[in-house]
Amino acid sequence: MPDGYRVRVDALHKYVADLDEYRGQGAKITEKVAQADVGDKSWGVVGLFTKSGYDDTLRELQSLLASIADGLASAQAKLTDAANVYQGVEDDHKIFFGQVETLLDGPGKH
């Protein structure tokens, strides 16, 4: 079937593992961002005017990092499910064609 496709299940599993590494990197960044929160006293009187903008930006960054982590987790789950489905179909086809071969060749040849 020249116009067909072939799914490399091992490549899907490798990509899922790569996504896990990205999640780990994101967790490290999120940890650093949590450390970036500066208390009111550190800003001083003049700095308090800009602190609200800093806090808003920091919250937005934390929200974006959480969205990225959720997206990576979702992608991992979906790709794992896809790999399992493709592998299941492949296994089913092997069993089916093995049974067809046995029927065609007759018993005792396998």
Could you state, in order of their start, the residue ranges of all structural domains in the chain?
Answer: 11-95
Confidence of residue 1 (pLDDT cuts 50, 70, 90): very low
Exposure b/e, 36-61, CB count within 10 A at least 16 = b: eeeeeeeeeeeeeeebeeeeeebeee
Confidence class for position 66, pLDDT limits 50, 70, 90: very high
% of the chain with per-residue pLDDT over 70: 95
Confidence of residue 49 (pLDDT cuts 50, 70, 90): confident
Q: 2-16, 35-49, 90-104: which range is least confident on average?
A: 35-49
What does the pLDDT read at residue 6?
Answer: 85
Q: Which helix (H) or strand (E) holds 28?
A: helix 9-35
Phi, psi of 23 (to 5 degrees): -65, -40
Residue 105's H or E segment, with its range, is helix 40-105
Model pTM? 0.75
> Taking Cα atoms as reference points, which of 95, 97, 101, 96 lies closest to residue 110?
101
